[in-house]
Structure 1
Amino acid sequence: MNFNRIKTQAISLTDLAQNFKEIEPDLTEKEAIDEANRCLYCYDAPCIQACPTGIDIPSFIKKIASGNLRGSARVIMESNPVGASCSRVCPVEELCEGACVVNELSLPIMIGNLQRHATNWAIKNKAELFEAGKDNGKTVAVIGGGPAGLSAARELARLGFRVTVFEAKDKAGGLDTYGIVSFRLPQEVSLWEVEQVEKLGVEIRTNTMVGRDISAEEIVSGYDAVVLAIGMSAVPMLGIEGEDAVGMLDAIEFVESTKTPPLDESFIGKKVAVIGAGNTAIDAATCSVRLGASDVKILYRRTEAEMTAYEFEYEFAKLDKVEFRWLTQPVRVMKDNEGKVNALDCIKMELGEPDEDGRRRPTPVEGTEFTMEVDVVIKAIGQSRYIQLIEQLGLEHNNGTVKVNPETLQTSNPNIFAAGDVIFGDNQGEAMVVAAAQQGKETAYSIYKQLIGDKETVSA
């Protein structure tokens, strides 16, 4: 990726805003056509097999080569209702580009950039790519308007269902709208995908939380089927002394705060410690740098080998001069007289036997305590689950991971289906936006089969 580097000294409000502009420039028309013409247009292409949503990649690339950008965007969005977002956030090195046969000859085809080029055309030209199917008389409620929920709603509408999406926030899009940094995924991209769904007649009720503004019972009894796509909740507590200090932040909430103006000027010159080493931790660290923090460290109790962040995210953070402290565990947050964070007591760790997930268990090393001067601590140690709502719906779950039939994505209630982060875990795959989109589609097809009958394809 061609990353634009950020300003690190004498940062102004203008600089802060510039730091959050999308970092990857769009391909020019010539660049896109030249790159498209490198594609071998493989029969039974391995890149298609590597895409969780099964996008016909040779087809959309060939349409770019022939100048048919609308057709290219339609091929992409047909398979992936959040294909514009995924063109920016998918780990393409591990998926489509990783499987590209051109890897054996030179660099792989820039599938992600070509996908972004085609969907950018659709966004700029306000293209409406699909139509709703003929009304089949059935209604479906979708709880959650993130990638899985939107994908389910889009496919259900094309299959003729009357769909209502219940979204707790003031905008739909979920992770894509609020949880992925602006310089990788601008909010307007996700909101265009939301608009594509709404134009199919899907009603999206924002600022409506199931269990607060409408009961779970009312949802279940009022619709022929329900899709549960609520994602995950807040970052859990670290469970250490001083965690109530001013300057302790939730990484999810922190990244969300950078998605809409005004940007926080208080980070300029600050020392920041981010706890965790997943993709959200990387986002929190790189956002801190772009807000003007002078020193940003990621603390992780295991080693580089066990970190869960994508490789490209890790490399990006290093380019932003984020420092990684491996085998380091915070044990106490120190506060000043005003109750603000001013230091973090830590201890070094060593790895022992593997734990339940197969990773070696970290244990403290006696006598290795040390203190780190910090102004802000950002927690990024995973997310908790919406167990209360899951139980209000009466669904079987394992610590908040809803149990589903892997073939149909049907829960313990035969009229409720689930997709996305709410089912990730228990060997249900990796928590990727593209995987959530595919699961959303699959719930739509399962609902159609249950309520209407077998159907192989949806309407145009």
Structure 2
Amino acid sequence: MHAKAYAQGVVAGRLDPVEISAGFGDLHPPLDDHEALVAADRCYFCHDAPCITACPTDIDIPLFIRQIATGTPDAAAKTILRQNIMGGMCARVCPTETLCEEACVREMAEGKPVDIGRLQRYATDGLMAAGVHPFTRAAPTGKRIAVVGAGPAGLACAHRLAMKGHDVVLFDARPKAGGLNEYGIAAYKSTNDFAAQEVEWLLKIGGISLLTGKKLGRDITLQELRADYDAVFLGVGLGSVNALIAPGADKEGVLDAVDFIADLRQSTDLASLPVGRDVVVIGGGMTAVDAAVQAKLLGALNVTMIYRRGRARMNASRFEQDLAAAKGVRIITNAAPVALHGNGAVREIECEYTDDALVPTGEKFRIPADQVFCAIGQTLEGGALPDLDGRKIAITGAGRTSVVGVWAGGDCAAGGDDLTVTAVAEGRDAAEDIHIALMGATAGAAG
């Protein structure tokens, strides 16, 4: 745990290990065989299925559900993984309620969609549990590609390139691969070390060398990579956290939510993690919800989310908002922090209400806070990068940057929506474009 977290009043062991274990259990328990058949039977198997259009990775959802319904779940898994090699994790963390399931005809007709996410998990988990990797490499091409960042975009890109017969060197700054899946999402969404298991399974395709502890700009440079490899893909994510601009933001007990979640995800004893009595989370996205809910599950008595806009404009989905409320998290909208008070360590946070245009109303309030987590966005870090579009790497087509031979995708690239499933799609599509660029006329024959 980061040193600044040990403010007075921030202690470990607010709940006993049994209570914590129960709280951090699987958010969506897996379907058994009978449940999967019943769930699959609800699908209409639409010809022009709107759920396919709503899926960023274009999975043929009616086909894989029909394969489950006919007793061939391994075939269903291959249908999923052909489009989304990280279908197991996406089944756990993808906001299906605002994507494929929201578009489901059953949802529109009855208000209850087909349980697409859990059916996807049922199929992919079964195949992975059998230790089966459904794809094999094409003949070696003699090409070497550097993929920087072993998060969802980088892993998807590396896997697709390896399938095409290229040799891939995968770099990551952290000690473990996985990126957001390993370090950045709530523990109750990815139980039993699933993120690491999925990486290990994915690498079974062969042809991918993983080098951890290698950070772009510190240990490797884009110039070096361009000289040593036939192509480069950047999937470096967003490494720098936006700073909270308010008097007292430097007080003890004020932390980045992403650090809190990373520490929690890497902990082997959740009961040993210090948490405050009165926790405040600033932000309205998925990271804010994950931090708030997990603080509550660790035993914080009062957890409050503060978001400067209205509820309808929160980046967290309605499902995530309702989950937070169900766990006892208070959500205050149209309010922004103006000061943090306390003698050395934070004790109170002062906020001011805002209108829909973010104009302060002059009405202020204070709430107790011995631990404050900032979840107000991240930005790209690093020098000597390709041209930017705002604060992200500018791309055209399937991830081509302003630098010849360099592609980008995932959170570091402009135009995405910062979802795991979108990052996977961008990594996959960039790999296809890299293959065509490197192989030219032979790309189609090579598959």
CA distances 1:323-371 after superposition (whole Å, capped 9, x unpaired): 11122221111123xx2211112222223xxxxxxxx3x12223x2332
User: Does the 8 Å contact 1:267/1:288 carry over to 2?
Assistant: no
- Distance in 1, matches of 2:54 and 2:405, equals 31
1:200 aligns with 2:205: yes
Q: How does 1:337-348 map to 2 (within 5 A)?
A: 339-348=344-353
1:147 aligns with 2:142: no
Counterpart AA for 1:284: A
SS in 2 for 1:452: helix
> What's the counterpart of residue 356 of structure 1?
none
User: Does the 8 Å contact 1:176/1:187 carry over to 2?
Assistant: no
Counterpart AA for 1:371: R
Moved more, 58-67 or 147-156: 58-67
Q: 1:457 and 1:27, CA in 2 relative to 1: closer, same or farther beyond 3 A?
A: farther
1:398 aligns with 2:389: yes
> What's the counterpart of residue 5 of structure 1?
none
Structure 1: any 5+ residue segments left out of the alignment? Answer: 1-8, 352-359
Counterpart AA for 1:402: I
User: Does the 8 Å contact 2:148/2:154 carry over to 1?
Assistant: yes
> What's the counterpart of residue 54 of structure 2?
50
> What's the counterpart of residue 279 of structure 2?
272
Q: Give the CA deviation at 1:266.
A: 5.7
1:137 aligns with 2:150: no
- Distance in 1, matches of 2:308 and 2:259, equals 23
1:384 aligns with 2:379: yes
Q: 1:192 and 1:268, CA in 2 relative to 1: closer, same or farther beyond 3 A?
A: closer
> What's the counterpart of residue 187 of structure 2?
182
Moved more, 103-112 or 20-29: 103-112
Counterpart AA for 2:67: K
Match of 2:399 among 387, 409, 416: 409
User: Does the 8 Å contact 1:144/1:228 carry over to 2?
Assistant: yes
Q: Give the CA deviation at 1:44.
A: 2.9
Q: Give the CA deviation at 1:456.
A: 5.2
Q: 1:266 and 1:41, CA in 2 relative to 1: closer, same or farther beyond 3 A?
A: closer
User: Does the 8 Å contact 2:237/2:411 carry over to 1?
Assistant: yes
Q: Give the CA deviation at 1:66.
A: 2.1
SS in 2 for 1:296: strand
Q: How does 1:171-250 map to 2 (within 5 A)?
A: 171-186=176-191, 188-201=193-206, 202-250=208-256
Q: Give the CA deviation at 1:189.
A: 2.3
Q: Give the CA deviation at 1:196.
A: 2.9
Q: 1:266 and 1:207, CA in 2 relative to 1: closer, same or farther beyond 3 A?
A: closer
Report the TM-score when normalising by structure 1.
0.89
CA distances 1:119-139 after superposition (whole Å, capped 9, x unpaired): 121232222221122110111
Using CA pairs under 8 Å that are at least 6 residues apart, name the structure with larger relative contact order, 1 or 2.
2
CA distances 1:348-402 after superposition (whole Å, capped 9, x unpaired): 2223xxxxxxxx3x12223x2332211100001011211x2xx324x11134311
Q: Structure 1 or 2: larger helix share?
A: 2
CA distances 1:37-61 after superposition (whole Å, capped 9, x unpaired): 2222222322112111111112211
Structure 2: any 5+ residue segments left out of the alignment? Answer: 1-12
Q: 1:82 and 1:42, CA in 2 relative to 1: closer, same or farther beyond 3 A?
A: same
CA distances 1:252-305 after superposition (whole Å, capped 9, x unpaired): 111111112232646556100101111111111001101100000011122112
Q: Give the CA deviation at 1:238.
A: 0.8
> What's the counterpart of residue 432 of structure 1?
419
Counterpart AA for 2:236: I
Q: 1:271 and 1:348, CA in 2 relative to 1: closer, same or farther beyond 3 A?
A: same
Counterpart AA for 1:274: V
User: Does the 8 Å contact 2:40/2:66 carry over to 1?
Assistant: yes
User: Does the 8 Å contact 2:411/2:423 carry over to 1?
Assistant: yes
Give me the CA root mean square deviation.
Answer: 1.9
- Distance in 1, matches of 2:432 and 2:179, equals 22
Counterpart AA for 2:360: P
- Distance in 1, matches of 2:351 and 2:178, equals 37
Counterpart AA for 1:182: A
Work out the number of aligned pairs and report it. 431
Q: Give the CA deviation at 1:88.
A: 1.2
